């Protein structure tokens, strides 16, 4: 692909033709703020926080949508640019609750980060604010649309990546909101609770319910692991504070999916559940009693033998789990065949 030469903040940059200003700036370590941009999603240029000054242009174009061109001279932090960004932040704050002290997003919130960067402390504009009822009708995440800045990343994820399209923009102008058809609670919509929207929300509009109040993003250690739920093997980070899991973050760079489903995203609470089985249980005298693995496996082997002797090998069957890896499943069917039967199945087939 052909190269174009341009300068950004006085630094000569060689970029691939077709790259956006944002991408070209990144190659030389210049960070331009963004809310609505996501490399995986269509470019919309909606939030306008990434505006930059391009010599010769009348207005300030959005770095996330404008492609680089030969000879372009770009400034990313001039007074004019900073003034526009401050106005945008002030405008967002004028219509956003100022409850950072208790907001779950504090520490990983882009609105906070950029307000810090540009010295904006709440809004200088007064006037009407959104008053949308809080939606906590589902077990997985809170929806506080008063905090929504309408970047639309959740909409694009939901439609273009997941393919469900549970929410979209509705109404227009100042009344615009991202919600379900007829604004029903998310639980009554076609949402499958994959949580992709929660993962990309740059502010505190969508936050997971589990782990609420248990740890700020800067207090947790990220432990890299593989999701135990199925054989897909999506990787993820467990957010751990004081040896307790308080949340999960997908590994967007992961070779498998990069996204999680409802189970991997929200189903981690079993780890520390008091109901979790940690040893085999054997029913003795009508009661389940804890047992060791050797005892349990011996019992299973013994019963298998009994059944095979009495009714033949085809009286046995094996039903494996999608939580096992391919290798585990391979070995499982091998075991069943060694026992002499082809009766083997798997829950994911149903």
Partner 1 sequence: MKEALKCYTEDPFDYGPVDSVLAKYKDQKGATIPILQAVQDEYGYLPYQALERIAKVLKVPFSRIFGVATFFAQFHLQPRGENIIRVCLGTACHVRGGAKIVEKLQEILQLDVGGTTADRKFTLESVACIGACGLAPVMMINNDTFGRLTTQKLAGIIENYGKETE
Partner 2 sequence: MSHRRILFCAGTGCISSGALKTRDALVSELEKRGIRDQYEVVLSGCHGFCEQGPLLIVHPEDTFYCGVQPEDMAELIDEYLLNGRVVERLLYKDPVTGERTSDHMKIGFYAKQKRLVLHNCGVIDPENINEYIGTKGYEALKAALKMERTAIIDEVKRSGLRGRGGAGFPTGMKWEFTFKTPGDKKYIVCNADEGDPGAFMDRSVLEGDPHAVLEGMIIAGYAIGADEGYVYVRAEYPLAVKRLRIAITQAEEFGFLGSNIMGTGFNFKINIKEGAGAFVCGEETALLASIEGERGMPRPRPPFPAISGLWGKPTCLNNVETFANIPLIIREGADSFASVGTERSKGTKIFALTGKINNTGLAEVPMGMTMREIIFDIGGGIRDGKQFKAVQIGGPSGGCLPAELLDLPIDYDSLTQAGAMMGSGGLVVMDENTCMVDLARYFLTFTQNESCGKCTPCREGTKRMLEALERITEGKGESGDIPMLEELANSIKDSSLCGLGQTAPNPILSTLRYFRHEYEEHILEGKCSAGVCRNLVTYHIDAEKCTGCRACTRVCPVEAITGDKKQPHEINIQVCIKCGACMEKCKFDAVILK
Q: Using CB under 8 A as the criterion, which residues of the chain lie in contact with partner 2 when the complex forms?
A: 43-49, 51, 59-60, 62, 65-67, 80, 83-84, 87-88, 91-92, 94-95, 124-128, 149-150, 152, 169, 171-176
Question: Does 186 engage in binding with partner 1 (CB under 8 A)?
Answer: no
Which string of x and - marks every residue 297-336 that binds partner 1 (by CB under 8 A)? ----------------------------------------
Tokens of 37: 């941009």
CB closer to partner 1, 175 vs 349: 175
95 binds, among partner 1, partner 2, none (CB under 5 to 8 A by kind): partner 2
Question: Does 169 engage in binding with partner 1 (CB under 8 A)?
Answer: yes
Q: Using an 8 Å Cβ cutoff, are 88 and 43 in contact?
A: no
Return d(Cα 229, Cα 237) in angstroms, integer.
Answer: 14
13 binds, among partner 1, partner 2, none (CB under 5 to 8 A by kind): none
Q: 119: phi > 0 → left, psi -120 to 50 → alpha, else beta; which? A: left
User: Which residues does 21 contact at the CB level (< 8 Å), separation at least 6?
Assistant: 8, 32, 52, 54, 61, 63, 64, 66, 67, 68, 72, 74
Stretch that binds partner 1, among 77-85, 177-185, 192-200, 332-340 (CB under 8 A): 177-185
User: Which residues does 266 contact at the CB level (< 8 Å), separation at least 6?
Assistant: 139, 140, 141, 193, 195, 208, 210, 248
Alpha helices for 144-212 (secondary structure H): 153-156, 196-200
Alpha helices for 239-339 (secondary structure H): 262-266, 293-311, 326-338
Please classify residue 197 by burial: count the beta carbons closer than 10 Å to its beta carbon, then call 0-12 exposed, 13-18 middle and 19+ buried.
buried
Question: Does 159 engage in binding with partner 1 (CB under 8 A)?
Answer: yes
CA neighbor of 312 nearest in space, from 331, 339, 272:
339
CB closer to partner 1, 60 vs 178: 178
- Look-up of token digits 């997908």: 250
293 binds, among partner 2, partner 1, none (CB under 5 to 8 A by kind): none
DSSP category for residue 140: S
Question: Does 248 engage in binding with partner 1 (CB under 8 A)?
Answer: no
Choice from 76, 115, 189, 320 touching partner 1 (CB under 8 A):
189
For CA atoms 27, 223, 191, 170, the dihedral sign is negative
Choice from 1, 42, 127, 175 touching partner 1 (CB under 8 A):
175
Q: How far is the CB of 189 from partner 1 (least distance, A)?
A: 8
Strand partners, 67: 20
Question: Does 164 engage in binding with partner 1 (CB under 8 A)?
Answer: yes
- Look-up of token digits 């393919």: 163
Question: Does 206 engage in binding with partner 1 (CB under 8 A)?
Answer: no
Stretch that binds partner 1, among 8-16, 112-120, 176-184, 231-239 (CB under 8 A): 176-184
Question: Does 170 engage in binding with partner 1 (CB under 8 A)?
Answer: yes
CB closer to partner 2, 61 vs 247: 61
Return d(Cα 184, Cα 58) in angstroms, integer.
Answer: 43
246 binds, among partner 1, partner 2, none (CB under 5 to 8 A by kind): none
Which string of x and - marks every residue 116-155 that binds partner 1 (by CB under 8 A)? ----------------------------------------
Q: How far is the CB of 189 from partner 2 (least distance, A)?
A: 18
Binding positions for partner 1, rule: CB under 8 A:
159, 164-172, 175, 180-183, 189-190
């Amino acid at each position: 692909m052909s190269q174009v030469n341009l300068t950004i903040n006085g630094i000569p940059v060689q970029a691939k033709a077709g790259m956006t200003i944002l991408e070209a700036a990144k190659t030389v370590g210049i960070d331009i703020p963004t809310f609505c941009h996501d490399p995986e999603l269509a470019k919309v240029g909606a939030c306008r926080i990434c505006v930059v000054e391009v010599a010769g242009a009348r207005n300030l174009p959005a770095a996330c949508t404008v492609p680089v061109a030969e000879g372009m001279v770009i400034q990313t932090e001039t007074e004019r640019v900073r003034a526009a960004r401050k106005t945008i932040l002030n405008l967002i704050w004028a219509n956003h609750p100022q409850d950072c002290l208790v907001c779950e997003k504090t520490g990983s919130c882009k609105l906070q980060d950029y307000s810090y960067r540009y010295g904006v402390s709440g809004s200088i504009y007064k006037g009407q604010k959104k008053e949308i009822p809080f939606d906590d009708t589902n077990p997985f995440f809170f929806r506080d649309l008063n905090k929504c800045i309408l970047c639309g990343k959740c909409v694009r994820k939901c439609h273009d990546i997941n393919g469900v399209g549970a929410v979209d923009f509705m109404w227009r102008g100042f009344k615009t909101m991202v919600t379900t058809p007829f604004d029903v609670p998310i639980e009554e919509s076609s949402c499958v609770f994959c949580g992709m929207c929660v993962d990309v929300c740059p502010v505190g509009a969508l936050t997971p319910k589990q782990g609420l109040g248990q740890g700020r993003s800067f207090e947790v250690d990220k432990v890299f692991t593989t999701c135990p739920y199925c054989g897909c093997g999506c990787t993820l980070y467990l957010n751990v504070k004081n040896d307790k899991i308080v949340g999960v973050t997908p590994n967007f760079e992961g070779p498998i999916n990069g996204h999680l489903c409802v189970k991997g995203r929200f189903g981690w609470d079993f780890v520390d559940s008091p109901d979790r089985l940690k040893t085999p249980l054997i029913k003795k005298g009508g009661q389940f009693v804890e047992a060791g693995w050797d005892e349990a496996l011996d019992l299973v082997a013994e019963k298998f033998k009994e059944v095979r002797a009495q009714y033949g090998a085809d009286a046995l069957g094996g039903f494996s789990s999608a939580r096992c890896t391919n290798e585990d499943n391979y070995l499982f069917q091998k075991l069943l065949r060694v026992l002499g039967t082809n009766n083997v199945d798997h829950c994911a087939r149903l």
